[in-house]
Amino acid sequence: MKRTLVCTVLLACFASPAMAAQTVWQGDLFITEVNSASLCNAVNMKVGEFARFVLRPKSAPDNGITDLLSWTFPRAAGQLVPSGGSLDAATLATVRSISGSAGFSQRNSAIDAILSPAAPVAQSIVTISIVINNFLSNQAPSPASGCNVTFEGALIKRPG
């Protein structure tokens, strides 16, 4: 049921007329490091896992006033909005996620993000390396998971 709701919401977002004017990059980012196998296994995060990510940088025209990074796993979805508006060199972000085991959670998380180039507009490929502390949660109402996850990979500009 929750998975259906998440898919419906995501499809509605991508099909909306407002989205047509936005410039996004998408692709898969892989988990390359976790700080604790036991803590991260508790929230189903392991090295080698991947998710589909979508980046909507504020540097592109009509993309809003803040960078937005969203993702979907087969069992969870979420988004990250960096404090201060820029993903590159961000150290804090609001992380919202929804998953079948924990439902919806929102928290301010410490992050360490590198976006290259820092303000993509015309580039066809961007690379991202990001560490998100306390990624996801295994209990409602979303206490800290203790699982710090490093994602890395490249996203390709979506034609539009």
Highest mean pLDDT among 11-20, 95-104, 127-136 belongs to 127-136
Nearest CA to 151 out of 117, 122, 115 is that of: 115
3-class SS of residue 3:
helix
Q: How far apart are CA 45 and CA 92, in angstroms?
A: 21
Question: What's the confidence (pLDDT) of residue 18?
Answer: 47
Question: What's the confidence (pLDDT) of residue 42?
Answer: 84
- State the pLDDT confidence band at 153, using cuts at 50, 70 and 90: very high
Provide the mean pLDDT of the chain: 85
The sign one gets for the Cα dihedral 54, 50, 97, 118 is negative
Question: What's the confidence (pLDDT) of residue 114?
Answer: 97
Contact 76, 112 (CB under 8 A): no
DSSP state at residue 56: E
Mean pLDDT value of segment 11-28: 67
* Domain residue ranges of the chain, discontinuous segments joined by +: 2-157
Tens-digit pLDDT profile for residues 38-72: 999 888 899 999 999 999 999 999 999 999 999 99
- Provide the residue type at 127 as one letter: T
Q: How far apart are CA 66 and CA 26, in angstroms?
A: 17
Q: How far apart are CA 3 and CA 105, in angstroms?
A: 15
3-class SS of residue 49:
coil
Tens-digit pLDDT profile for residues 105-139: 888 899 999 999 999 998 999 999 999 998 887 66
- Provide the residue type at 89 as one letter: A
Contact 45, 29 (CB under 8 A): no
